[in-house]
């Protein structure tokens, strides 16, 4: 028996039984890219998938690749379950990610762009501009773009400027008094990537980076322009929070805030450059970022395809999925019956086929109902303009007991959640900032109501975030119940 167990144990440690976690994720992203390639989907939906792939890939470098590089810098060459060292994983990731970036560019250039042109949506290259278009774009540059641009020189007398995560930048070389100098010009994030052009034949766009490149000389008067090449970096955003100890002076809120500030200067995990960038300029970037060539990837096409998701807003319904209207449990005129309905039987939601408005109705009715005495809730990702915050504040102002756990360590939502936590606390809501050494990922809302036969509790338990936007996209379940066993469990969790 012992010999059999030993053989089984050895077999389970065989690297050939396992797939590398990071390479597996890249294959998942490939399946998303396959949706952009599949012409069974409406055209703008395919463009949306293209943008999702690019955004996913950015986050992959921001977290997973960045974590591996931290281990490499620390000299920690642990072997993964599939038998690869950190360096071997980074090499394999680079090869696979580079192929994905090229496939992404080919999908745009060879498939989506020609198909969009056939449907009347045209994107112009610089050599396609007519004199009329050039005049239009120059006027646009001078009125809307030029005031936002700030060229920053860097040389021994001027430090290399800070380059923010995921920003698009021009590395510019100019000659003045027979000397070559270098500068950085950041492309403003607040401007649309696709600049609309006057056209009688359908939507026509120029690329913002091309408009800026055509007019860069206006930023550098009295010097000779030599080169201007796009680059962007992906920084490590895998935040390491110094957890609160009993004798610590900083609370979790301050600790997360300080960690976010440190991320601003985090080392790059990817330096993406135009393939035409000369080696002398690339070398300057590598030296100033204090990185090696192994994080550099040359792009044969456009950078930052995540911006392409904005094209889904084009008013062309024939190029999109047909609108879907989800089912709603309670319409506004029926909201007073929310608690009666839940007391009668459990209600199950299946998002996105059931509307998130039912969750909002549940909380809205709790705020309006004089019999409700307490609302307790966990918040992980709630989005930019959630009505739930206003509802919770209104409940507190009405004298109800409101307690909210805001998970400050929700990745990429840390700053939003700090803002929400501060606003809730200022309104008198009791706010908990998470649990030491853990992330609170559960989605719970507990309503306590005084009724004629005593105190009764109502609960919403969900697999998805309290986020109206993502509930329209992600598949999740939500349960409304007054079952005492479930309510006991949620109540116990809310007091520990």
Q: Cβ neighbours of residue 160 under 8 Å, at least 6 residues apart?
A: 154, 288
Per-residue CA distances from 257 to 356, 385, 386 (Å): 31, 21, 22
Strand order in the sheet with 122-124: 122-124, 204-207, 194-197
Quote the distance between the C-alpha of residue 294 and its chain's center. 25
Q: How many angstroms separate the CA atoms of 64 and 234, rounded?
A: 12
How many H helices and E strands in the chain? 16, 16
Could you tell me the two tokens for 325? 């209207």
Q: How many angstroms separate the CA atoms of 240 and 238, rounded?
A: 6
Catalytic residue among 158, 350, 441, 468: 441
CA atoms within 13 A on the CB side of 106: 9
Q: How many angstroms separate the CA atoms of 8 and 24, rounded?
A: 25
Q: Cβ neighbours of residue 350 under 8 Å, at least 6 residues apart?
A: 475, 476, 477
Per-residue CA distances from 392 to 429, 447, 456 (Å): 8, 12, 20
Q: Cβ neighbours of residue 379 under 8 Å, at least 6 residues apart?
A: 388, 404, 405, 406, 407, 417, 420, 466
Looking up tokens 């303009």, which residue turns up? 385
Looking up tokens 């080392």, which residue turns up? 267
Specify whether 41 is catalytic.
no
Per-residue CA distances from 151 to 46, 185, 268, 279 (Å): 36, 5, 22, 21
Burial label, 463 (beta-carbon count in 10 A; 0-12, 13-18, 19+) = middle
Q: How many angstroms separate the CA atoms of 276 and 334, rounded?
A: 63
Which residues are identified as catalytic? 441
């Amino acid at each position: 028996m012992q010999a059999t167990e030993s053989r089984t144990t050895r077999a389970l440690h065989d690297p050939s039984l396992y797939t590398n976690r990071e390479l597996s994720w890249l294959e998942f992203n490939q399946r998303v890219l396959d949706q952009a390639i599949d012409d069974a989907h409406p055209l703008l939906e395919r463009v949306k998938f293209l943008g999702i792939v690019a955004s996913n890939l950015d986050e992959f470098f921001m977290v997973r690749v960045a974590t591996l590089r931290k281990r490499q810098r620390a000299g920690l060459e642990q072997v993964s379950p599939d038998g690869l060292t950190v360096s071997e994983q980074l090499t394999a990731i680079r090869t696979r990610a580079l192929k994905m970036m090229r496939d992404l560019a080919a999908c745009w250039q060879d498939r989506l762009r020609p198909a969009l042109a056939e449907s009347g949506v045209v994107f112009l290259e610089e050599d396609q501009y007519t004199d009329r278009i050039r005049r239009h774009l120059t006027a646009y540059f001078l009125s809307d773009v030029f005031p936002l641009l700030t060229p920053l020189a860097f040389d021994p007398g001027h430090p290399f400027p800070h380059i923010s995560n995921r920003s698009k930048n021009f590395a510019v070389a100019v000659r003045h008094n027979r000397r070559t100098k270098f500068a950085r010009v950041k492309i403003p994030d607040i401007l649309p990537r696709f600049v609309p052009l006057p056209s009688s034949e359908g939507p026509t766009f120029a690329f913002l980076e091309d408009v800026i490149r055509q007019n860069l000389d206006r930023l550098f008067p009295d010097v000779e322009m030599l080169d201007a090449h796009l680059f962007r970096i992906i920084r490590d955003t895998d935040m390491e929070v110094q957890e609160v100890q009993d004798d610590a002076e900083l609370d979790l809120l301050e600790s997360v805030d300080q960690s976010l500030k440190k991320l601003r200067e985090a080392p790059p995990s990817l330096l993406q450059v135009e393939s035409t960038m000369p080696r002398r300029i690339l070398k300057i970037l590598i030296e100033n970022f204090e990185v090696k060539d192994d994080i550099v990837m040359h792009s044969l096409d456009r950078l930052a395809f995540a911006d392409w998701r904005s094209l889904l807003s084009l008013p062309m319904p024939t190029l999109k999925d047909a609108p879907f209207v989800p089912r709603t449990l309670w319409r506004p005129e029926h909201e007073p019956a929310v608690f009666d309905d839940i007391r009668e039987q459990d209600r199950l939601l299946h998002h996105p086929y059931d509307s998130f408005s039912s969750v909002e109705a549940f909380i809205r009715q709790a705020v309006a109902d004089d019999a409700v005495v307490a609302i307790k809730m966990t918040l992980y990702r709630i989005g930019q303009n959630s009505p739930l915050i206003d509802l919770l504040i209104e409940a507190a102002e009405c004298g109800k007991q409101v307690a909210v756990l805001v998970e400050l360590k929700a990745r990429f939502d840390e700053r939003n959640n700090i803002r929400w936590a501060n606003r809730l606390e200022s309104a008198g809501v009791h706010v908990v900032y998470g649990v030491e050494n853990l992330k609170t990922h559960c989605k719970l809302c507990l309503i306590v109501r005084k009724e004629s036969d005593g105190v009764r509790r109502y609960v919403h338990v969900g697999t998805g975030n309290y986020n109206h936007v993502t509930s329209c996209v992600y598949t999740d379940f939500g349960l409304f119940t007054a079952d005492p066993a479930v309510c006991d469990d949620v109540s116990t969790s809310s007091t520990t």
